[in-house]
Structure 1
């Protein structure tokens, strides 16, 4: 089982993200996730570097595998451009790259003034986009006239030696079914056993990744304050994360999330047992890879503590579970 570090482009500057990647490699993390956002979820997070530039820097700073978690190749960016960006990233990372894709959120994808499609249309667009990306990675000229996308004699000349895998995110039954059908793997942020089993029933032995966030701090109260101030949007229910169009709207909706709700749902502070407990639902569900992000300014302390105490304990627990099965 692999344990990775999740780089949050919404909260940290490009320089901090590269620093975190280097520290994560030194601490013994196995791989990296990196988010792809045009906007942060709220102004308190306050960052939104261009993910492909950061990935280029990561390729020169460390040797960890990188997965986008996730890129939306449908509205804000044409899938032909994503195909080129991902091919270059895979080349620079010498194959240590996975293109994670999803149907996106209005927060990031509506910015050019395009209408925000319904969920079913977004999944239809994603399926066409993934098919087009794979055709472009074959290396020939591609003229495509589909329901949603067109290319005219497009060819990607700079390709990696091996075509990257494409993992598909799924937070509901329809998206999970699509991930099983067209993806090389599955991405989610929920320890939902039913959805994971649904994916595996449709996909067989394809790998499944999940991510979670923690707030490292000297005390639990400080961690709760950081998580609630910076990331209380994570407590919003249902489809709000997909349809709210701006950080301002997320700030307004997040007023409904209380500090106690944050305390109950996030591992906060420096108690290693509390951090280990946050992983347990994901371990119990049976994911193949888990990625953890820090919330707040204490990422150096968090990465160091994980390297010394949390990762060894997680690997021991994962080993026990594997032997028991």
Structure 2
């Protein structure tokens, strides 16, 4: 049976707002949380980007729900040994209710230290080695590693959970899905991608969990909701590899000028039609995802949670 979680958007909200949304999500009946991990928002209208590990610490004291990053890039901006320490501490704070979601990243967040931004195949190679490093450190043993991309010398995590932190891998495209199947404890997607699930399972993923997320914009005025979704998240409709290679929020704003309001309206569920929201989320469940995380675009979070608590989640569970 599919579970339904809430997706906290670090790009749109302050740390305090994210914690309050987590409380509302738990009260509304969502069973787990995703939280995005960015250095920059995608555009200046989104306007926020707090340090995710600080927010996770606050979440651990505010709610009883499991938490997962969706997703962290452990390869360029942060060394995997540092990500491993952050993830292990988060798992301890959350009593084991933490999963580390990882991906190969975007230049938007990862180029900030002036490092070269590798092509996709190299990014996946780096991700695979990063997972190897993190898993060694999660053991609590002293680790030295001299690899192609990373060096770790005499490192040991002293604060570790009872069980190693599960690492789920985000994948867009066949090659990434195969890597996720080979190295991941689960599969993450932002599309109702049944083919990606099948490739993940064939490549070694077996019966491991498969997780997905989507954005909606609830509101009583559908036209206003479409305008909000277009203003804040037109970038999600950019094609191909642009999201991985554009370096600044301003570049995303420039590219997003090509995305029409009609394009957003056809791609994002907006308004307060219960059937439309149920259909959008159900598409992911029908594709085979074990958990679907929903994010509300914009400021009207309380209205969204009331709507999902009373009208959408009961229908989905039926």
Q: CA deviation at 1:186?
A: 0.2
SS of structure 1 residue aligned to 2:207: coil
SS of structure 1 residue aligned to 2:277: helix
Which residue in 2 is equivalent to 1:273? 275
In the alignment, the residues of structure 2 paired with residue 46 and residue 299 of structure 1 have an alpha-carbon distance, to the nearest angstrom, of 17
| 159-168 or 274-283, larger mean C-alpha shift | 274-283
SS of structure 1 residue aligned to 2:133: helix
Which residue in 2 is equivalent to 1:29? 30
1:214-267 CA distances to partner (integer Å, 9 max, x unpaired)? 011121101101000011101101110000000000000001100001111111
Match of 1:208 among 190, 207, 210: 210
1:59-85 CA distances to partner (integer Å, 9 max, x unpaired)? 000000001000000000000000000
In the alignment, the residues of structure 1 paired with residue 143 and residue 33 of structure 2 have an alpha-carbon distance, to the nearest angstrom, of 32
Contact (CA 8 Å) 2:99, 2:168: kept in 1 or not?
Answer: yes
Is 2:305 aligned against 1:299? no
Which residue in 2 is equivalent to 1:321? none
Which residue in 2 is equivalent to 1:161? 162
Aligned residue pair count: 316
Which residue in 2 is equivalent to 1:63? 64
1:32-66 CA distances to partner (integer Å, 9 max, x unpaired)? 00000000000000000000000000000000000
* Structure 1 unaligned blocks of 5 or more: 317-325
| 262-271 or 109-118, larger mean C-alpha shift | 262-271
* Structure 1 length-normalised TM: 0.96
In the alignment, the residues of structure 2 paired with residue 280 and residue 256 of structure 1 have an alpha-carbon distance, to the nearest angstrom, of 29
Which residue in 1 is equivalent to 2:7? 6
Which residue in 1 is equivalent to 2:186? 185
Runs of 4+ in 1 over 3 A off after TM superposition: none
In the alignment, the residues of structure 1 paired with residue 197 and residue 225 of structure 2 have an alpha-carbon distance, to the nearest angstrom, of 30
Q: CA deviation at 1:280?
A: 2.7
Which residue in 2 is equivalent to 1:100? 101
Which residue in 1 is equivalent to 2:315? 313
| 305-314 or 74-83, larger mean C-alpha shift | 305-314
1:171-203 CA distances to partner (integer Å, 9 max, x unpaired)? 111110010000000001011221121112222
In the alignment, the residues of structure 2 paired with residue 284 and residue 31 of structure 1 have an alpha-carbon distance, to the nearest angstrom, of 20
Matches within 5 A, 1:63-142: 63-142=64-143
Which residue in 2 is equivalent to 1:228? 230
SS of structure 1 residue aligned to 2:308: helix
Which residue in 2 is equivalent to 1:44? 45
In the alignment, the residues of structure 2 paired with residue 70 and residue 39 of structure 1 have an alpha-carbon distance, to the nearest angstrom, of 14
Q: CA deviation at 1:312?
A: 1.0
SS of structure 1 residue aligned to 2:100: strand
Which residue in 1 is equivalent to 2:289? 287
Q: CA deviation at 1:9?
A: 0.2
SS of structure 1 residue aligned to 2:294: strand
Is 2:264 aligned against 1:262? yes
Contact (CA 8 Å) 2:282, 2:316: kept in 1 or not?
Answer: no
* Structure 2 unaligned blocks of 5 or more: none
1:122-178 CA distances to partner (integer Å, 9 max, x unpaired)? 000000000000001111111111000001101110111121110000011111001
1:260-316 CA distances to partner (integer Å, 9 max, x unpaired)? 011111111111111112113212211111000010111111012111111111111
In the alignment, the residues of structure 2 paired with residue 142 and residue 131 of structure 1 have an alpha-carbon distance, to the nearest angstrom, of 11
In the alignment, the residues of structure 1 paired with residue 110 and residue 86 of structure 2 have an alpha-carbon distance, to the nearest angstrom, of 17
Which residue in 2 is equivalent to 1:323? none
Q: CA deviation at 1:8?
A: 0.4
